[in-house]
Amino acid sequence: MRIGNHDIPITNPDKVFFPEVGVTKGDLIAYYTGIADLVLPHVRERPFQMKRFPNGIDADFFHQKRVPAKHPDYVGEIPVSFPSGHSTVFAVVSNAAALAWVANLACIELHTWHSRLPDIERPDYLLIDLDPTTDGQWEYVREIALVVRDVLDELGLPSFPKTSGATGLHILTPIRPEISFPHVRRFAKAVAEEVGRRIGDQTVATTTWKVADRKGVFVDFGQNARDRTIATAYSVRPVRDARVSAPLHWDEVATVDPSRFTLQTMAARIGEAGDPMAGMWRRAVSLTSRFERLGIEPPASEPDSASTAA
């Protein structure tokens, strides 16, 4: 496959990755390259964690943080250190050729950090992840999402929803990369707790951290921690119908059915709805001035951090 000035070797394009719907590796690569202009704003310049399904979704998969030593020059890299003392070198996927390359390595999902080069210690979005505790809670997810929007609106924060592509829903707020992960997580926790107070029913919405104690949908703020990853907007998920993490317009949320969004239906979806996240990253705002409005201490000024800081 040739993309721009790059020749990308494609192996076994006819290998079936999703047996129930007959989607192949070649279909996956064609999907990602076909909508690269929509995907790349969410992926580029971020540490990219490979989750590889070499024989499709019904076979074993493995996580690969370290980019292969022999990789093409159109695939970037970023060294990262961890508090444990371990370090690795992540891939960075910032162009359509690199997108095709990781898809050819059977990365069905696009998993990235919440931060970008050059300073990966400061996230550029806040995430509220609505995660059902049991089956049959999708109606609650939609209800809670609208409350999350209300809370963020009152704080003057833009919000962009998307289906997770699995069982839940993600709400992203683009922010200026000014503060570190612990502070963003602390802010997200306060938002989640305010949402829980407004719902007022733990069987509908909960922020209870202990899994065994949950009954309602978990309003998850913990995904804002350092080195957590989520499937990005437009990512395919490894489920039987090749479902996609689909950006939504807010007026769709109250009635949305996530099963409508699959690798095979997304072209028509984009044709009808456009890109609900178009321009999202140009709307980044500062969180710092909003901490006190949630009744929490604002962060002290922080020194600049190196991209490889532990």
Instruction: Based on the fold, state whether residues 172 and 229 are members of the same structural domain.
Output: yes
In a domain, 153, yes or no: yes
The tokens of 137 are what? Answer: 């809670």
State whether 104 and 126 are in the same domain.
no
Last residue of a domain, one of 112, 142, 167: 112
Beta carbons of 185 and 222 less than 8 angstroms apart: yes
Give the Cα separation of 207 and 256 in Å (integer).
Answer: 24
**Given the DSSP bridges, would you call strands 2-3 and 205-206 parallel, antiparallel or unpaired?**
unpaired
Distance of CA 44 to the CA centre of its chain: 12
Greatest C-alpha distance within the chain: 56
**CATH number of the domain encompassing residue 67:** 3.90.920.10
Do 290 and 174 fall into the same domain?
Answer: yes
Read off the pLDDT of residues 206-233 as tens digits, 9 standing for 90 and up: 999 999 999 999 999 999 999 999 999 9
**Percent of the chain topping pLDDT 90:** 94
Cβ atoms of 235 and 109 closer than 8 Å = yes
Indicate the pLDDT class of residue 310, thresholds 50, 70 and 90: very low
Residues 189, 292: one domain? yes
Tokens of 240: 């039987």
Residues 86 and 133 in one domain: no
Residue 71 three-state SS: coil
Instruction: Check whether residue 78 and residue 147 sit in a common domain.
Output: no
Paired tokens of 24: 């192949």
Tell me: do 91 and 231 sit in the same domain. Answer: no
Over residues 44-67, the pLDDT tens digits come to 999 999 999 999 999 999 999 999
SS3 of residue 61 by DSSP: coil
Assess contact for 100 and 49: CB atoms under 8 A.
Answer: no
- 306 pLDDT above the threshold of 80: no
Contacts of 16 (CB under 8 A, 6+ apart): 22, 23, 24, 56
Residue 268: its pLDDT value, please?
A: 97
Residues 129 and 275 in one domain: yes
**CA dist., res. 301 & res. 303, Å (int):** 7
* Domain end call among 112, 142, 170: 112
Q: Do 141 and 252 belong together in one domain?
A: yes
**Does 305 reside within a domain?**
no
pLDDT at 305 (0 to 100): 57
Predicted pLDDT of residue 257: 97
Structure confidence by residue, pLDDT tens digits, 216-275 = 999 999 999 999 999 999 999 999 999 999 999 999 999 999 999 999 999 999 999 999
CB 164 within 8 A of CB 218: no
pTM for the structure as a whole: 0.94
Residues 238 and 91 in one domain: no
Q: Domain of 66? A: 2-112
Separation between Cα atoms, residue 17 and residue 26, nearest integer Å: 9
Q: Is residue 303 part of a domain?
A: no
Mean pLDDT of the residues in the chain? 95
pLDDT of 303 > 80? The answer is no
SS (H, E, C) 103-158: HHCCECCCEECCEECCEEEEECEEEEEEECCCCCCHHHHHHHHHHHHHHHHHCCCC
Q: Would you state the pLDDT for residue 302?
A: 65
146, β-bridge pairs: none
pLDDT value at residue 304: 61
Please tell me the predicted confidence (pLDDT) of residue 300: 85
Q: What are phi and psi of 22, to 5 degrees?
A: 70, 20
85 vs 35 pLDDT, higher one: 35
Residues 101 and 215 in one domain: no
Q: Are residues 276 and 171 located together in one domain of the fold?
A: yes
Nearest to 42 by CA among 208, 247, 225: 247
Which of 64, 93, 112 terminates a domain? The answer is 112
Q: How many domains does the chain have?
A: 2
98-152 confidence digits (pLDDT tens): 999 999 999 999 999 999 999 999 999 999 999 999 999 999 999 999 999 999 9
Is a pLDDT exceeding 80 seen at residue 20? yes
